[in-house]
Structure 1
Amino acid sequence: MSTIALFDTAVTALTTALATPSGIVALCSATLAGMLVIVSSFVKTMIPLRCLAIGGNLGFLIYGALHPSLIMVMLHGALLPINIVRAAQMVRLTRRVQLAAASNDLSGVWLRPYMRRRRLRKDAVLFRKGDAAKRLYFLAEGQIEFVEIGQTMEPGRLFGEIGFFAPDKRRTLTARCATPCTVLQMDEMTFKTLYFQNPAFGFEVVTLLAGRLFADRQRLEERLAAVTPVA
């Protein structure tokens, strides 16, 4: 009996809602929002997921406003700006990486918003050759010396990427602060999160790193050609 009564109540509520234009709009909005939520459960990447969530929030907001439900309005009114901000962040990151790849910008400055700042004193060793490569670094201030090869790096450069992406994940050089330094760092979990949220980000990063390795190889070949005596 209770099931029949529940069904009759639902039918009555549906009939009442369809009797007015606002009720029809509310039901259509809720239906569309529900479909977007269902579709989002099959989406694996973050930008489409956030876009679907925004559509669902808007649909439920309209329903909550026209078919008065304060709780629904408050809930989706709070979720909507969060989803908009997160979607905008991921789109912005993808554009930055694409622009960096197009302009052959190997500095990695586009990663700065996702990295944690760390200050180091002069002569501090950031990592040693053979250490586990758990972080990717960006030099914001100061100078880093790579001890084994005697080279110094100026600010505005990404470094530590070779060990970070190497199969054995081991550092190939020792990095020491030649001056007081400000270093930005990103751990492996943060990078993987960005990658799985937006595979385009990972693809462009791989492209940039391949460009860095190719440029390093060219410089090495030029140096070898300069020191090799002509027969």
Structure 2
Amino acid sequence: MDSPHIAVQAGTFFASIFVVATTTMRTMIPLRVFGIITNVILITTSIFSHAYPTLLLHAVLLPLNGYRLHQMLQLVRDVKKSVNSDLSMEWLKPFMTERCCATGEVLFYKDEKAEDMFYIVSGRYRLVESGIELPVGAIVGELGMLSPLNERTQTLECIEGGTVLGVSYRQVEELYVQNPEFGFYFLRLASARLFQNIGRLEQRLAEYTVQTPAPAAAPAPAAQGSA
């Protein structure tokens, strides 16, 4: 048996092992790594066996698997960086879709079903019930994903036309399932935002308490002497 034939058989054997291994994996990063290894092995064996259709197929799949692996690893790094710094949501931009908003448009109403979150790119937006105006770069609507009923707690109105980026909770959940590390950091990020909101409410309550004067004590009734 010549050496090229032995190489083809060995390559096919190892590629089969990696293909079977990928069926047992539940997360995306190990799946992509094993996919890349399988692509490399099958490209090599295809060269020896002159199986050009197989060579072409895995030559296409190899850069695709590499790109998706890079994208997922970058996502995890960006989420980790956001948790440890300014809580930015820049890392979600590649998974978002653009939406143009007109002045007076309501993006969502209080108590309606929450299905997505938004990243503010331009324009001005206000949470109607609290009167809070959100700055460019803010994320809004992400806590609805963690609420038991997935309902909006406030109404979001556009008060000056602009653009937002939206991502559905389903997409975020898919990223969560594909990569447990991403899910862990996303929960830390959402928790940090929740504590920020609680701190902001406590500060407003403290300011309101200081500004509101305590009611004056009622004067004691005058003592009446006996006739």
- Kindly indicate which of the two structures has a greater share of residues assigned to helix: 1
Q: TM-score, normalised by structure 2?
A: 0.88
Gaps of 5+ in 2: 215-227
Aligned counterpart for 1:92 among listed residues 52, 63, 74? 74
Q: Do the aligned residues in 2 keep the contact of 1:109 with 1:157 (CA within 8 Å)?
A: no
In structure 1, how many angstroms separate the alpha carbons of the residues matched to 2:200 and 2:59?
Answer: 55
Which amino acid counterpart does residue 194 of structure 2 have in structure 1? L
Per the TM alignment, residue 90 of structure 1 is displaced from its structure 2 partner at its CA by 0.7
Q: How far off its partner does 1:33 sit? A: 1.5
Contact in 2 for aligned 1:109/1:158 (Cα 8 Å) = no
Partner of 1:64: 46
1:201 is displaced (CA, Å) by 1.2
Quote the offset at 1:222 in angstroms: 2.1
The 5 Å alignment of 1:96-111 reads 96-103=78-85, 105-111=86-92
Counterpart CA distance in 2 for 1:134 and 1:227 is: 34
Take 2:56 and 2:197, find their aligned partners in 1: how far apart are those partners? 54
Q: Which residue of 1 aligns with 2:94?
A: 113
Instruction: Find the aligned partners of 2:46 and 2:57 in 1 and give their Cα distance.
Output: 10
Superposition pairs of residues 8-157 of structure 1, within 5 angstroms: 16=1, 19-20=2-3, 22-103=4-85, 105-157=86-138
Q: Secondary structure at the match of 1:129?
A: coil
Cα deviation for residue 165 of structure 1 reads 2.2
| Partners of 1:162 and 1:71 in 2: CA distance | 49
**Aligned residue for 1:211?**
192
Of residues 133, 157, 175, the one that matches 2:156 is 175
Normalised by the length of structure 1, the TM-score is 0.87
Q: Which runs of 5+ in 1 are unaligned?
A: 1-15
Q: Computing the radius of gyration over CA atoms, which structure comes out larger, 1 or 2?
A: 2
Task: Report the identity percentage.
Answer: 34
Counterpart code for 2:93: R
1:194 maps to a residue whose letter is L
Aligned mate of 1:188, from 159, 162, 169? 169
SS in 2 for 1:193: helix
1:78 Cα shift?
Answer: 1.4
1:198 has 2:186 as partner: no
What's the C-alpha RMSD, in Å, of the aligned pairs?
1.5
1:4 corresponding residue in structure 2: none
Q: Give structure 1 regions of 4+ aligned residues with deviation exceeding 6 angstroms.
A: none
Aligned counterpart in structure 2 of residue 159 of structure 1, from 115, 118, 140: 140
SS in structure 2 of the partner of residue 25 of structure 1 = helix
Q: Does the 8 Å CA contact 1:144/1:152 hold for their aligned counterparts?
A: yes
